Amino acid sequence: MHAIKLSWGTGIAITYTIFVLVLVFAVVQSTKVDHSLVTEDYYQKDLEYQTQIDKEVNALNLGEDLQIKYADAQKAVQLQFPAELGAVQGKILFFRPSDKNLDFEAPVKADERGQQTISTQTMMPGLWKVQVNWQAGGVAYYKEESIIF
C-alpha cells in the first residue's frame, strides 16, 4: 500500500480551506436565527422600571392578592381581583416568550364580584406570562404570573 505524501504547503492550503468552509457554514446558520428583541421598546421600558416596582409593591401591600389561575375544565384563565379594591380598570397582557407574534392584550372587565374569565380556546398551548396592570382608587398595581396549558 502506498502512503500519500503531502507537502507542507498542501497541508496549509487544506487547513485554511476547511477553516473557511466552517466559517461560511457558521455565518449561513446564524442568518437563519431570529435575533429580534423580545420587546421593541426595551429602552423606554427600562426607564419605566421604577414605576413598575412601585406597582408591584402596591400589589404586595394589599390584604388579598390578585389570583390568576388556569381552569382546565373551562379552558380559560380566571382572575380574581381583591374584594377590597371595588371597581378596577386596566389591561391584561398575554405574553408568549417563545413567539412575540402571539402576544395580545385584553381590557380588565371584572364583574361585581371582582372576577374575570378569559377563554384560551384560540390560544396556542404552552407557556404564557399573564401580566396584569390595573388601577383602583387612584392607585396602580401590577402582577405577573406564568401559566402553562
124-149: pLDDT as tens digits: 999 999 999 999 999 999 999 999 99
The rounded distance, in Å, linking the Cα atoms of 55 and 61 is 10
- The pTM of the full predicted model, rounded to 2 decimals, is 0.68
User: What domains does the chain contain, in order, with CATH numbers?
Assistant: 42-148 (2.60.40.10)
pLDDT at 32: 87
The rounded distance, in Å, linking the Cα atoms of 101 and 47 is 24
